[in-house]
């Protein structure tokens, strides 16, 4: 199986979808998947759209030292192709556990490792949930100390929960549209 086909299928894209997103014709994609190496614009466009280094799409054998570097990198989790369908599932897996802050990030973390999606985007998703899980109880307790009544406490609790639902859904929409996160941190906690 060609490298392009493997990467395309890992990202759950059809040839037509990849063609539409990259600007490369379906026929060219079929040729590359049958063994022809992409060149020039085609190579750059496909690599950019698939979010991978250009060398990952080349089928030709490289010199011994370059080949050994590539094989070392292929084993590292950071270099594995990103499956955005799995990323969306990991992101959305926090919603059922929104009321239980600990499971809010433990379930996505377990999914990250079982689905082998240990990349920067997934780590950002989990880091965001960890920050929310730490800050939500603090905000709630501060709201209780204000002693503004039961109605305020209930509204505050609902707003805290809805804020996390909003973060999760907004990031899921951005992952679907642009394959990146809308809300992210400048650091990773993992």
Residue 27 lies in a domain: yes
- Residues 62-76, mean pLDDT to the nearest whole number: 42
The answer to whether the pTM exceeds 0.95 is no
Total structural domains in the chain?
Answer: 2
Locate all alpha helices (DSSP H) within 15-119, ordered by sequence. 15-22, 26-33, 40-50, 64-75, 84-92, 101-114
Give the pLDDT band (50/70/90) at residue 80: low
> End of a domain among 36, 58, 79?
79
Mean pLDDT value of segment 41-58: 85
Q: Domain containing 90: what range?
A: 84-178
Percent of the chain clearing pLDDT 90 (strictly above): 13
């Amino acid at each position: 199986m060609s490298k392009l086909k493997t990467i395309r299928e890992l990202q759950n894209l059809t040839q037509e979808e990849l063609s539409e997103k990259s600007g490369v014709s379906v026929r060219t994609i079929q040729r590359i998947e049958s063994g022809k190496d992409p060149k020039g614009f085609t190579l750059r466009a496909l690599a950019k759209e698939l979010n991978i280094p250009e060398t990952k799409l080349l089928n030709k054998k490289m010199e011994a030292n370059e080949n050994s570097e590539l094989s070392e990198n292929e084993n590292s989790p950071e270099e594995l192709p990103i499956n955005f369908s799995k990323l969306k599932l990991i992101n959305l897996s926090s919603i059922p556990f929104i009321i239980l802050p600990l499971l809010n990030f433990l379930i996505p973390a377990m999914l990250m490792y079982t689905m082998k999606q240990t990349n920067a985007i997934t780590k950002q998703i989990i880091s965001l949930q960890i920050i929310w899980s730490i800050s939500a109880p603090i905000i709630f307790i501060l709201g209780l100390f204000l002693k503004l009544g039961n109605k305020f406490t209930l509204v505050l609790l609902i707003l805290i929960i809805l804020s996390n639902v909003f973060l999760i859904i907004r990031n899921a929409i951005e992952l679907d549209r642009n394959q990146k996160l809308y809300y992210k941190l400048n650091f990773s906690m993992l």
